[in-house]
Structure 1
Amino acid sequence: MNTKRSLITKFHFLFTMCCIGLASQLSAQTIAAGGTKPLGPLSSYVDPYIGTGFHGHVFMGVNVPFGAVQLGPTNMSEGWDWCSGYHYSDSLIIGFAHTHLSGTGIGDLGDILFMPVTGEVKPSKGRPGNPASGYYSPFSHSDEIAKVGYYSVKLKKYNIKAELTATERVGMHRYSYPNGSTPKMVIDLEQGIGWDRSGENYFRKINDTTIVGYRFSSGWAVDQRIFFTAVFSEKIKGLSVYDSTSVKDGAEQKGKRLKAILTFDPSNTEILVKVGISPVSTDNALANIKAEAPGWNFESVMRKADEKWSDELGKVKITTADPSQMRVFYTALYHTMIAPSLFNDHNKDYRGTDKKVYNKASFNNLTTFSLWDTYRAAQPLYTIIHPEKVSDMANTMLAIYKQQGKLPVWHLHGNETNCMVGNPAIPVLSEAILKGYKGFDQNLAFEAIKNSSMLDERGLYYVKKYGFIPADSMAESVSIGLEYAVADWSAAQVAKKLNKKDDFQYFKKRAGYYLNYFDPKAGFMRGRLSEQTWRSPFSPFESIHEKGDFTEGNAWQYTWLVPHDVDGMISMLGGEKPFLNKLDSLFFVKGDMGAKASNDITGLIGSYAQGNEPGHHIPYLYAYAGQQWKTAEKVRYIMDNLYTDKNDGLCGNEDVGQMSAWYIFSSLGFYPVNPSSGAYVFGSPIVNSAELKVAKDKTLKIKVLNNSKQNKYIQKILFNSKPYTKAYIMHSDLMQGGTLQIEMGAEPSRTFGQKKSDRPRSEYN
């Protein structure tokens, strides 16, 4: 690139960054000072480093809300803490891939990896401690910039500045090479993340500036297919294609471990590349580039990405007295919008679970459904602030049902992974129906719910035959059975709404099967072998990862997994007083979980684990027995101590938005204990005020009076200027907009939420 063009580009970049920075600073000053409305983008509060340390496993890089592209660095290291490809502890980069997961406990994706290089390099990522063995480079966080829509890092080995931005389906790279060097680029189609293993790769040079290809791989997603087109700003002067380390003749190759090294003219000190991805074809990938990133203005793409994030983040505008809370809140909100991600092209073409191509669909097809995690809070959050996306999610699930014969369990890039337990799509789809969302076929939805519930797979055969899953028939039987009961309650409520009386009675009965896992003598849920026999020996503390009776947990944590029938659970535990005593005990008892305990049991308070999703509703259960003030104590403690604005600021896996969604809801002051019921239980808001855009023309305003670290107890609530005494509020009320005024105090209220008529009830929850 000539010097004049380079100087103009750099001027535009600096000007844009200054404008964004000034607007962000004004926004920060306004909100921190308690102003009513921010003056600039809320994106300035997002810190992508939060959750990249400890076990957060979050994505680092660039994307737009719910975009197909997650373009970012991939580290040299591998392992559980590198499920997203990046961990704060690492100091080596092997390149920049276009797909990444965020917060999962299994690694995959990492497709279509680019790495700028100079000098003589080998077509291999190399080995740590031996720089000559491959193309990897050291880097330092001091040379890194990470913000929404923009990522930059200096690759020390080559003295190259790498810059990234993105649209929905296009990753845009800008690489600044040192003067006097010969710019080169490695494209690695073998490299993936975690379980991912390369299958068939294809690479073809179309002309002097365009490369196309595909990468088929197998891993967590057993048959993943991704196509790409890469367009360069400068002419490719040299090309070497390798299968592993063997050079191949010709500019078109198929292989299992394809890599290419591209060489550019030494006069080009700056190389830009636009990479479009597609689940369908290289032609569609090129069309995505033409539709979303037709020019070469890096700053314009970056600015638009920031604007898209600011628009979405602006659906929830809060004020707090603590700037760090602002960073935690808006980073959490950002994390909830990384997925579900688009899995279609700009023209709406997509590839289904059956591997067939569906052209010009009437909805946006999505992927990365971590439903066992997200049905608890992330999906309910979408129904409030992203109502326009609910029908896309529902239609995607119904398309998956038609293609694979059941609703998704954990869907990834056109593949059913069957990961985790229960039928978590059922509460999500039921929630959409019960909350009155349209834009999808509700009769087909109930058909999908019913048929997915009546299969014989994954323990359902035993549920239908015995009313429980025998502990010696499969691992994690208790967790699986309890999750099925939650889904069955949701199915029953949909049947009731659609006037399917027999189905209602059937699924209502199955929703009560949670009782079959409770041992009254032990006082816990536990593995059952038969009507008369429990698995022994038994310890409520023990956790055996993937081979015990519980999924990433123990009996202390799973005994409370009855969010759909808390009244029934209270009776099961002997009444309100024993229920409250046992709930109190959960937060201070400690015991030996054993040598085979799950790594996911983190964020412990006694035996309560905030770092894993099955217990996220538990702190809110006090309200069902008239002690809402204890809910306030617990959720305030969790927010104050287990969520920070540091790189290790998450106490467990982000799990595709669920860990952060808990914080978003809890910060605002309420939480969906039983999501598809439409009821939200009050806790203890930490914001001073909030405005939620709940519909095109409606806003919910939350005003929190006398709020402070000491004043954590709700004293009284006014909703639209009228006294509101209930310890919960319904979705239908929130979506009408208006003003929710919450008055806080330093001592528990003796009246709020204590009357039985004011407590959340199982007919709602």
Structure 2
Amino acid sequence: MTTRRQLLSSAALGAAAAALPVRAHTPFPPAEPNLFIGTGGTGHTYPGATLPFGMVQLSPDTGVERWETCSGYHRGDTSILGFSHTHLSGTGIGDLLDVLVVPGTGAIRLQPGAADKPGSGYRQRFADEHAEPGYYRVKLENHVAAELTVTERTGWHRYRFPKGAGHLLVDLSHLVLDREGARPLIDEAMLAIEADGTLTGTRRVFRWAKGRRIFFALQLSRKPDRITLIGDGDIEQPAGAAQVTGKRLKAVLHYDDAGKAPVMIRCGISAVDAAGARANLDAEAAHWDFDRVRSVAADYWHNALDVVRVEGGTTDQRTILSSALYHAQVAPTLVSDVDGRYPGLDGKVQNAPADGAAYSSYSLWDTYRALHPLLTLVQPERTKQLIDDLIRQTAQSPFGPLVWPLQGKETGTMIGWHGVVPLAEAQAKGVEADYGAAWPAIRKRSFDFAAPDKENSRGRDLYDRLGFVPADKVNESVSRTQEYAYDDWASARLARAAGAGGDADRLLRRSRNWRNVIDGRIGFARPRFADGNWWKDYDPIQLGHMPEPDWRDYTEANGWQATFLNQHDIYGLIAHLGGDAKFEAKLDALFSAPSTLPDNAPPDISGLVGQYAHGNEPDQHAPYLYAFAGAPWKTQAIVRRLCTEMYKNDPDGIIGNDDCGQMSAWFVFSALGFYPVDPVEAAYVFGSPLFERAELRVGAGRKLVIEAPGNGPDTPYVVAVHWNGGPWTRSWISHAELAKGGTLRFTMARAPNRAFGRAAADRPPSFGRTPV
């Protein structure tokens, strides 16, 4: 218990520390990231070579059968299948793994073989694995030394074979298996040997992104002695065959003396057509200097990681930060070719402007929360390009606002249409763009209930008419109601910017629908039926009123977690639950409840502290909600705990799926000392900084310095804050302030200052207002 003397001492300490002279600092260079963080457990990351937001992710694949290998790789596996050119980072569903290359010696093996029997097929044990930004190497059991690097649109391989014959297998049938173990459908594929020796090919895949196309053009530094094309059923084509079509195709490139000199590959890919793959290759691979490409890739990453430098903390914590910053810049992924063409969500080939680009792998249900806000702060130029792309693709998509697009296909995965959130956030933060161009498509999704639905937007008509999605009509109804309400909040801002005031008012009213699935009498989010009645046999630990696992009332959450899903009308939620004291007690209960889950809980609900689940996104903002009830010191305590307990410098160092960088972005923000509870509000709530000092490049030569002198493991509490030398009593700060650059100084202590941020006037804004 903190005494009044301790409290006053802490406040005095804050005033005294603020008056101390500031010494000159030369921050440590960025720590080297550990690319294996997240490759174990269920982090679902990969260690291979890519550039920031690049089209190619050239990485080893260790498995395709298990949920743990959604990215194609798991650190616990003991064998490698080969090296493919496209990967998803941290997702909970698998796809891609295009154009697998397998270096082999001895007998030709066309099937991978069993994971528990390396050597029964082309899969091999490995050793001496090394990964760094833009580069990967490993030694295979057959004594081939493999190295990988990349440009934006091309993958580069260098293989050093042992003395004697060797070969390269290109397996165009390799991809993520269905969970049942049956191969998903490839309905057409082609491989061809061009006149200049370039191997080209394509396939159409129906895995997650149904019907996506990939094209490639692959060139070799050493001409093979012969090439064998393999058709369906592993049938070898006649000698001299220059093309094969079918569904499950392969090619074998033979070298009678593979060990004579390194064999290098440069491979361009495209989601548009063969000409695009060849043009990407020609533009980005005009030489055979592997080390030069590696050096350029390292420079790209040095610049990307140098946007944040820190002092203090432990060596592991600095490595975790750098690794998180790395993972926060691998997606979204480039999908437009060098000429600007890309596969539009309308099924047509579209063109990005000369100064723009198109992107894929927008994991928006996850990344709107922290990743996109982080990019607005440390990558404003990239943010502008992403926002322009989101606007274009929103206007082009038959479904309107983006949900989870992957290589020209809208998967519609997860609920809501959260593509509106980064747009509204950017508009609130002053990013100039043609937001009005997206408004007609957003309006259609919001109000045209005859417009085509995907799973993500079911029940929109009932939500509009009844004020909530009824649990007896549509699954995941409680979460849908709240997330649709948040998208309405974001869309209202975009409507206002587009001059549609009446629509903005309607959306703003509808954004309050969250309260219709929060039963204020019991203080929980609760399934509600079309007749207005609540689920009677309610238990907040359960996932819904139906026993079937495929009919839940919450999305990857239960009643505890869904109760705090609201991000935009927090003072409304506080009032709905009975006021500050009851809300604070409810948060206390969230973090102290037994960490039990029902048998039908999905594996996504992980990283439990009480019933708070840090390993999944729905309530990742919940630790910061104490500040809205006037108790930011409790935010400080729980955030420090999460930063130190949920992240490790270890393959199992991310407590859940990284989800295209969202889990990593949460750490970056929280380790710096603030977090965007509601990105559309364009404000950050203070937490507990992990380091003594940080320097951020925030664009156009501006620098943000964050100081917490003497900060350590035993000083989690913020007892005073100063901004640019003056006292700052608020428990939050606006994006506009931080983006200008300046010095934010935290005074840390062992005991909390419960007076800091307690006054109503000092609490964070929400729903466009403060509680006064």
Q: Secondary structure at the match of 1:212?
A: strand
1:6-61 deviations in Å (ceiling 9; x for gaps): xxxxxxxxxxxxxxxxxxxxxxxxxxxx9934576x3x521111011111111220
The one-letter code sitting in structure 2 at the alignment partner of 1:507 is L
2:508 corresponds to 1:508: yes
Structure 1 residue 576 displacement after superposition = 0.8
1:291-320 deviations in Å (ceiling 9; x for gaps): 222111111111111110110111111112
Where relative contact order (Cα < 8 A, 6+ residues apart) is larger, the structure is 2
1:121-176 deviations in Å (ceiling 9; x for gaps): 22211223445642111123xx11111111111110x2111110011001000001
The one-letter code sitting in structure 2 at the alignment partner of 1:215 is R
Counterpart in 2 of 1:78?
A: 65
Q: Secondary structure at the match of 1:223?
A: strand
Counterpart in 1 of 2:372?
A: 379
The one-letter code sitting in structure 1 at the alignment partner of 2:658 is E
Counterpart in 1 of 2:637?
A: 633
For 1:334 and 1:564, how far apart are their aligned partners in 2? 29
Counterpart in 2 of 1:89?
A: 76
Aligned equivalent of 1:422, options 416, 441, 453 = 416
1:628-664 deviations in Å (ceiling 9; x for gaps): 0000000000001111101111111100010001000
The one-letter code sitting in structure 1 at the alignment partner of 2:653 is G
Counterpart in 1 of 2:393?
A: 400
Structure 1 residue 487 displacement after superposition = 1.0
Counterpart in 2 of 1:31?
A: none
For 1:356 and 1:498, how far apart are their aligned partners in 2? 27
Aligned equivalent of 1:220, options 208, 218, 228 = 208
For 1:272 and 1:146, how far apart are their aligned partners in 2? 19
The one-letter code sitting in structure 2 at the alignment partner of 1:277 is I
Q: What runs of 5+ residues in structure 1 fail to find an aligned partner?
A: 1-33
Structure 1 residue 568 displacement after superposition = 0.4
Structure 1 residue 563 displacement after superposition = 1.1
For 1:60 and 1:706, how far apart are their aligned partners in 2? 35
The one-letter code sitting in structure 1 at the alignment partner of 2:361 is T
Q: Secondary structure at the match of 1:421?
A: coil
Q: Secondary structure at the match of 1:705?
A: coil
Aligned partners of 2:704 and 2:738 also within 8 Å: yes
Counterpart in 2 of 1:433?
A: 427
Aligned equivalent of 2:441, options 438, 448, 456 = 448
Counterpart in 1 of 2:250?
A: 259
Counterpart in 2 of 1:21?
A: none
For 2:267 and 2:332, how far apart are their aligned partners in 1? 21
2:446 corresponds to 1:459: no
Q: Structure 1 stretch 656-665 or stretch 546-555: which is displaced more? A: 546-555
Q: Secondary structure at the match of 1:423?
A: coil
Counterpart in 1 of 2:471?
A: 471
For 1:546 and 1:673, how far apart are their aligned partners in 2? 30
Q: TM-score, normalised by structure 2?
A: 0.91
Q: Secondary structure at the match of 2:68?
A: helix
2:104 corresponds to 1:117: yes
Mapping of residues 26-37 of structure 1, within 5 Å: 36-37=25-26
The one-letter code sitting in structure 1 at the alignment partner of 2:122 is Y
Aligned equivalent of 1:276, options 256, 268, 282 = 268
Q: Structure 1 stretch 201-210 or stretch 702-711: which is displaced more? A: 201-210
For 1:684 and 1:608, how far apart are their aligned partners in 2? 18
Structure 1 residue 697 displacement after superposition = 2.2
2:161 corresponds to 1:172: no
Q: Secondary structure at the match of 1:646?
A: coil
Counterpart in 2 of 1:50?
A: 37
1:450-495 deviations in Å (ceiling 9; x for gaps): 2222243322111111111110112111111100111111122333
Counterpart in 1 of 2:332?
A: 340
Q: Secondary structure at the match of 2:329?
A: coil
2:287 corresponds to 1:290: no
Aligned equivalent of 1:200, options 182, 188, 203 = 188
Q: Secondary structure at the match of 1:614?
A: coil
Counterpart in 1 of 2:573?
A: 569
Percent identity reads: 40
For 1:763 and 1:127, how far apart are their aligned partners in 2? 55
Q: Secondary structure at the match of 2:147?
A: strand
2:589 corresponds to 1:585: yes
Structure 1 residue 360 displacement after superposition = 5.6
Would the alpha carbon gap of residues 110 and 35 (structure 1) be closer, same or farther in structure 2, given more than 3 Å must change? farther
For 1:675 and 1:60, how far apart are their aligned partners in 2? 30
For 2:630 and 2:188, how far apart are their aligned partners in 1? 60
For 1:191 and 1:35, how far apart are their aligned partners in 2? 55
Counterpart in 1 of 2:4?
A: none
1:689-723 deviations in Å (ceiling 9; x for gaps): 11111111211111112311111111111111111
Structure 1 residue 109 displacement after superposition = 0.5
Aligned partners of 1:67 and 1:168 also within 8 Å: yes
2:643 corresponds to 1:643: no
Aligned partners of 2:336 and 2:352 also within 8 Å: no
Aligned residues: 725
The one-letter code sitting in structure 1 at the alignment partner of 2:148 is L
The one-letter code sitting in structure 2 at the alignment partner of 1:331 is S
2:513 corresponds to 1:522: no
For 1:119 and 1:730, how far apart are their aligned partners in 2? 63
Structure 1 residue 764 displacement after superposition = 3.8
Would the alpha carbon gap of residues 423 and 245 (structure 1) be closer, same or farther in structure 2, given more than 3 Å must change? same
For 1:76 and 1:649, how far apart are their aligned partners in 2? 20
Structure 1 residue 183 displacement after superposition = 2.0
For 1:446 and 1:431, how far apart are their aligned partners in 2? 15
2:177 corresponds to 1:185: no
Counterpart in 2 of 1:704?
A: 708
For 2:677 and 2:234, how far apart are their aligned partners in 1? 54
For 1:165 and 1:404, how far apart are their aligned partners in 2? 34
2:607 corresponds to 1:623: no
Would the alpha carbon gap of residues 115 and 36 (structure 1) be closer, same or farther in structure 2, given more than 3 Å must change? farther
The one-letter code sitting in structure 2 at the alignment partner of 1:237 is D
Counterpart in 2 of 1:491?
A: 491
Counterpart in 2 of 1:246?
A: 235
Aligned equivalent of 2:721, options 717, 722, 739 = 717
Q: Secondary structure at the match of 1:433?
A: helix
Aligned partners of 1:72 and 1:97 also within 8 Å: yes
Counterpart in 1 of 2:134?
A: 149
2:728 corresponds to 1:728: no
Aligned equivalent of 1:741, options 725, 737, 745 = 745
1:59-109 deviations in Å (ceiling 9; x for gaps): 220001000000001113521110000011101111100000011110110
For 2:370 and 2:352, how far apart are their aligned partners in 1? 31
For 1:261 and 1:563, how far apart are their aligned partners in 2? 54
2:358 corresponds to 1:365: yes
For 1:536 and 1:57, how far apart are their aligned partners in 2? 38
2:601 corresponds to 1:597: yes
Q: Structure 1 stretch 382-391 or stretch 208-217: which is displaced more? A: 208-217
The one-letter code sitting in structure 1 at the alignment partner of 2:114 is R
Q: What runs of 5+ residues in structure 2 fail to find an aligned partner?
A: 1-22, 179-183
For 1:320 and 1:278, how far apart are their aligned partners in 2? 44
Mapping of residues 532-543 of structure 1, within 5 Å: 532-543=532-543
For 2:117 and 2:431, how far apart are their aligned partners in 1? 57
For 2:766 and 2:350, how far apart are their aligned partners in 1? 42
Structure 1 residue 265 displacement after superposition = 3.5
Q: Secondary structure at the match of 2:438?
A: helix
Q: Secondary structure at the match of 1:347?
A: coil
For 1:309 and 1:194, how far apart are their aligned partners in 2? 32
Structure 1 residue 520 displacement after superposition = 2.5
The one-letter code sitting in structure 2 at the alignment partner of 1:384 is L
